[in-house]
Amino acid sequence: MIKRPRVLSSAAARRIALAAIAIAAAACLANPSQVNAQSADLVLCDRMAADPSDPDRPADVKGTSDVAPSDVATAIKYCRIAANSSRRALYQLGRAYAANGQTREAIAAWRKAADKGSSSAMVELGVLYGTGAGVARDEAQARKLFERAAQGGNPRGVTNLAALGGAGASSDPARARELLAKAAETNAEAQYQLGLMLADGSGGTTDDAGARSLFDKAAAQNHAGALERMGAFSQEGRGGPRLLPKPITTGRQPSAMKTPRRRLNGCDVPTRSRTSAAISSPIFAFRAGINDIQMARWGNAERGTRARQSRLMRGVREGGGVS
């Protein structure tokens, strides 16, 4: 009689995975030849709560955009231990607390991490002060934190400082451009902000083609500001070919797509729809973009605007017409 193997539950599989990670971490500690050997607690903390945008994150740590609800308890447990000797773990502990709705604990962890030089913790505190979430709103304090983070080479510090209109973001545009270039490989906000600088010639030469490429990359990630700028560049033929929605050439219009009509002096006349007016009119972008501060302020209203602009941009892209 052949016995069928039993399927492991997800909880059991997770315990096995954690045990494997712990064993691997212990093996690293046992091998003195590995320069970057770390404690098992820090390895597990990184596994559950590392931030992909954190400059302190080691290159071999992938990171996660959000701490998964199922990982929160484990992340808090191991990050709390690792935080005794690592500012990165302190920052990640704050992320785990925030994911668990423990705002007070998160703020305390981020303050300690910021005191130890964590630029990511400075950004998180700056966002809280800039939006008044969990603390009294204080834009001056937010600006100071963003300036410190920007000076420490954190691109999020640069973008959020720009959103607040901080002088530190514009006093050295060449440096801001350099910082944004490092993050623009993967970060949509950095791509958008760097695209603006290339389009305006701020901090260096004007590069419309480069700006358009960056706007396109950010628009592909549904960045609302980049969608608007990409629409404007496409319609104007700036930095590349002029792209317009492909016209319908099927002859007779289906009944569902007939041009809306209205009565004028007893006659039927075509009525221009809102959609066609939006597509054929110039599109201009707002300068600030979507960043931590604005995402916190706009909430659902911003997401609705982003969906509308995304639909508009998809119309331009799918048309593919070149005039």
What is the predicted pLDDT for the residue at 102? 97
- For every residue of the chain, which 3-state class applies, written as one string? CCCCCCCCCHHHHHHHHHHHHHHHHHHHHHCCCCCCCCCHHHHHHHHHHCCCCCCCCCCCCCCCCCCCHHHHHHHHHHHHHHCCCCHHHHHHHHHHHHHCCCHHHHHHHHHHHHHCCCHHHHHHHHHHHHHCCCCCCCHHHHHHHHHHHHHCCCHHHHHHHHHHCCHHHHCCHHHHHHHHHHHCCCCHHHHHHHHHHHHHCCCCCCCHHHHHHHHHHHHCCCCHHHHHHHHHHHHHCCCCCCEECCCCCCCCCCHHHCCCEEEECCEEEECCCHHHHHHHCCCCCCCCCCCHHHHHHHCHHHHHHHHHHHHHHHHHHHHCEEC
Give the residue, 208 or 17, on which the prediction is more confident.
Answer: 208
Kindly report which listed range (183-187, 205-209, 276-280) carries the lowest average pLDDT score: 276-280
Q: What is the mean pLDDT of residues 9-24?
A: 54
What is the predicted pLDDT for the residue at 266? 45
Whether pLDDT at 71 is above 80 = yes
Give the residue, 147 or 163, on which the prediction is more confident.
Answer: 147
Highest mean pLDDT among 122-126, 165-169, 194-198: 122-126
Domains and CATH numbers, the chain: 36-56+66-171 (1.25.40.10), 184-247+270-323 (1.25.40)
